[in-house]
Structure 1
């Protein structure tokens, strides 16, 4: 084994000690911090600044290992059981203490008590846990989430408020469903759904809102906002513009997303009757980044979400460290431990999120497809940050542009067919063609909603487009739909 073999992981999960200190508290804080986070290793016998292997006296190694194990078991509450092993590095013996992520959080030094003896790892260093971090660790220890927690004794909710939130989420889900047929299958929410998700709790015959319910409605948490800004250059020295969005978290998400779109470069392709806007960055990735911040942030943390636009990147900072035992490499592989389970249920239903853990891998894959630099993920000062890098020439190039041009070309060809085969190309035809291209298909019901017409009128317009050779009908009876030829 070499030093490189030992440090093959991220350094924040590893600490070197030249020797075993006489006072165990010197390294016991790190033991507690590892147990409260993603786990880690302490290696005795390696200088922490130079990585020089000095080794441990082999004759004393086993007694030292027993002493370390006893000290850890006796000093921490709840008890932490380490895995202590010997390793040979550069022909010298070192002691490796492996601390697994704990499930009975918070862990703390018994002598100092929970308030003063709880520690966490932040950017490779061990530090005392702030009060809001301690509270979150307590939620983790009993497998509870802040958003599903009963808001306050004086909080109340009316039947109208419950119905209003159910309707609001249903309408949002339908509007953001990409598949017309799937939109028809979206079920309407009931009070029972909100109970099962953790938006409501029942006490006797009465219902009370949880934090998730309040965040989605009358959000009054001062930290539950999104701060947006545009900076000149690549740092935060000079503001060009800034905004702060409050209110319910869905309104904030939409507002922050539109803010970024207004402040990045956009070009247009004009083909026939249609103009297609082409943004320099993939808009689905921008929305996913902000969505992840809203749904996975710590609402106990006193800071707001920050969305910053620089000359070279779009940066989204989400308050709160990675949740549970997650590591950066886990997120890239699609592993997810939801911090706010109620919000995850709601965002998935509303078609804001797809599947748990799929967001970051999809962003990375999308950027690779478009020739963008791989997004940067990092933990910084107790928060999670993702950077989406812009093209240096401020234009969108590569496969994305080709796909957009193919798309607009397909629409142009469709409109040409209408011109040749119908007496008059009207706005209704244009709307249906554009909708079918964007969504992949269109149903009779969607035409009714799109054009605000009755069933018979919708069928007549669809028949015109079928006869013109623009659309083709698929399926039978109620399951039928129309696609561009």
Structure 2
């Protein structure tokens, strides 16, 4: 089916916006196909696909073009894309579908462009060449792709030896001998065969890809065990910046309210960046027996994993070594961005499948044996469980899934901040329970509070990825502590839960919504008196039932809602 929604609704949306958008492009094309159509074909094919409507005049308010020659324009498009017997205008032409539609009683030509497979990108205008004829879609614009973006597209499936690059000016004296010894010892424990026959330090360094046979230091070795890698690559660090507003450099605001450049080898960069982030997050202090611990509004484990991934999986080819990993802390979120897009066929859809594909295998191997400076364990493991663990940890604390923003030349992890909700959940547990709980008991209770006072084992298992028998044991312990009661087979309820049912909560949200005025989730929470986390939980379900209308993408911070 060429259209996902009726053409009339698409045109109505464009007229309301006054412009095209990221997925729809309109061209007047009165008497012939306009030449810039091919820029849009390239942009849609290289980005996420899209719809081209030919025969509408954007400048006149998206009205049908006068005397639109639909058959001529169709033939010119088919010929230009390579299906008319003539040479194609674009190289690596995408799959497409054609159809006719009607707007205000006049015919228009609809062209659905499908995104190319990664191995076929980029689509480009042949006469201009790949460097000058490749485009990407950004909002309603077709933007020429940068050399870095093109490099990433063309090398995304190719083995890389960037982490094996020889650092010409470095010697073994630039390596920390204590870290080198730790790496050797840890690798010997992990894989006894790895050092078989390597009976000298020099041979061991070569075997582990820290140096070459000539004694030259490799980039992976320098980043893992170097005393100060920035002597040779000044920008291979983590740049942490704290912003006062939800966007960078808001008018009238200081550029940063805190900033730290975290340098040294990768383990030091990660630990320093984690400390810098922690200084700027809200925390809840938990008393445990005679001791206490701090819970961060975004879990430390999630942040450490995101930082490690950014350093290990970033692009280290010459075009990118002048860029740092960046951490931007805003009042509502944390963004961790690394140079280089996804590699090896990874996409947003399969990031959490547990399959590990590594752009920098030498560095990954070393990071699995390189100790952290101020924490137990190594920097990374290479079994593909990092991102699934991040997702589970965030969801188990009712903090929402991490968002992943993929571009050709960068990858960003977006973690929402929920400091106020962290404090509220902590206050509720302390006031409601009155007894000391384990971390898992607290997590399960917070999950039940967010998703209704009654939950069964299957629902908890699907959300938290815990073993069913473990869930039954935890629930049984909470029953013994008079926190939960059993109300059916494998079903439990929080005792004396002083809150309305899920149905009444949805009713309150619906009453707060207006059919005339769009509202954000936070505005709905204020108007309804329902906690923001519950509002976010109920809104998608209400949309699925057709009770409300949703404006904006699921990743937009400005997503708005109205009553139907």
- TM-score > 0.5 by shorter chain: yes
Provide the rounded CA distance (Å) in 1 between the counterparts of 2:81 and 2:296.
Answer: 57
- Deviation digits for residues 322-352 of structure 1, max 9, x if unmatched? 4576554443666775443433344445543
Q: Please state if 1:222 is matched with 2:234.
A: yes
Provide the rounded CA distance (Å) in 2 between the counterparts of 1:48 and 1:131.
Answer: 33
- Deviation digits for residues 117-140 of structure 1, max 9, x if unmatched? 444455664333334334444544
Offset of residue 256 of structure 1: 0.5
Provide the rounded CA distance (Å) in 1 between the counterparts of 2:114 and 2:379.
Answer: 39
* Structural mapping, 1:130-209, within 5 Å: 130-140=146-156, 143-145=158-160, 147-151=162-166, 154=168, 157-158=171-172, 166-169=180-183, 187=192, 190=195, 206=214, 208-209=216-217
Q: Which has the larger displacement, 81-90 or 308-317? A: 81-90
Secondary structure (helix, strand or coil) at the match of 1:4 reads: coil
Gaps of 5+ in 2: 8-19, 371-377, 442-564
Q: Please state if 1:67 is matched with 2:80.
A: yes
Provide the rounded CA distance (Å) in 2 between the counterparts of 1:371 and 1:242.
Answer: 29
Distance 1:395 1:85, change over 3 A: closer
Match of 2:54 in 1: 45
- Check the 8 A contact 2:356/2:382 in 1, yes or no: no
Specify which of 82, 87, 100 is matched with residue 94 of structure 2. Answer: 82
Secondary structure (helix, strand or coil) at the match of 1:221 reads: coil
* Structural mapping, 1:280-429, within 5 Å: 280-299=297-316, 300-301=319-320, 302-323=322-343, 327-331=347-351, 338-348=358-368, 351-355=378-382, 358-378=385-405, 383-393=410-420, 395-396=422-423, 398=425, 405-407=436-438
Match of 2:38 in 1: 28
Offset of residue 244 of structure 1: 0.7
Distance 1:67 1:332, change over 3 A: same
Distance 1:198 1:70, change over 3 A: farther
- Check the 8 A contact 1:145/1:339 in 2, yes or no: yes
Offset of residue 254 of structure 1: 1.4
Distance 1:23 1:162, change over 3 A: farther
Offset of residue 284 of structure 1: 0.9
Offset of residue 198 of structure 1: 6.5
Offset of residue 385 of structure 1: 3.0
Offset of residue 377 of structure 1: 3.4
- Check the 8 A contact 1:108/1:114 in 2, yes or no: yes
Offset of residue 167 of structure 1: 3.0
Distance 1:339 1:271, change over 3 A: closer
Distance 1:30 1:157, change over 3 A: farther
- Check the 8 A contact 1:123/1:379 in 2, yes or no: no
Q: Please state if 1:16 is matched with 2:25.
A: yes
Provide the rounded CA distance (Å) in 1 between the counterparts of 2:57 and 2:301.
Answer: 43
Offset of residue 243 of structure 1: 1.1
Offset of residue 259 of structure 1: 1.9
- Check the 8 A contact 1:370/1:397 in 2, yes or no: no
Provide the rounded CA distance (Å) in 2 between the counterparts of 1:46 and 1:170.
Answer: 67
Distance 1:106 1:58, change over 3 A: closer
- Check the 8 A contact 2:237/2:325 in 1, yes or no: yes
Provide the rounded CA distance (Å) in 1 between the counterparts of 2:386 and 2:57.
Answer: 36
* Cα RMSD after superposing both structures: 4.9
Distance 1:303 1:48, change over 3 A: farther
* Structural mapping, 1:247-286, within 5 Å: 247-286=264-303
The two structures have a TM-score, normalised by structure 2, of 0.55
Secondary structure (helix, strand or coil) at the match of 2:335 reads: strand
Provide the rounded CA distance (Å) in 2 between the counterparts of 1:148 and 1:118.
Answer: 28
Provide the rounded CA distance (Å) in 2 between the counterparts of 1:273 and 1:312.
Answer: 34
- Check the 8 A contact 2:92/2:122 in 1, yes or no: no
Secondary structure (helix, strand or coil) at the match of 2:306 reads: helix
The two structures have a TM-score, normalised by structure 1, of 0.62
Specify which of 112, 116, 123 is matched with residue 100 of structure 1. Answer: 116
Offset of residue 170 of structure 1: 5.3
Offset of residue 253 of structure 1: 1.0
Gaps of 5+ in 1: 175-182, 411-485
Secondary structure (helix, strand or coil) at the match of 2:327 reads: strand
Q: Matched residue pairs, number?
A: 391
Distance 1:295 1:212, change over 3 A: same
Distance 1:243 1:111, change over 3 A: same
Q: Which has the larger displacement, 236-245 or 122-131? A: 122-131
Offset of residue 30 of structure 1: 4.4
Match of 1:439 in 2: none
Provide the rounded CA distance (Å) in 2 between the counterparts of 1:133 and 1:170.
Answer: 37
Offset of residue 285 of structure 1: 1.0
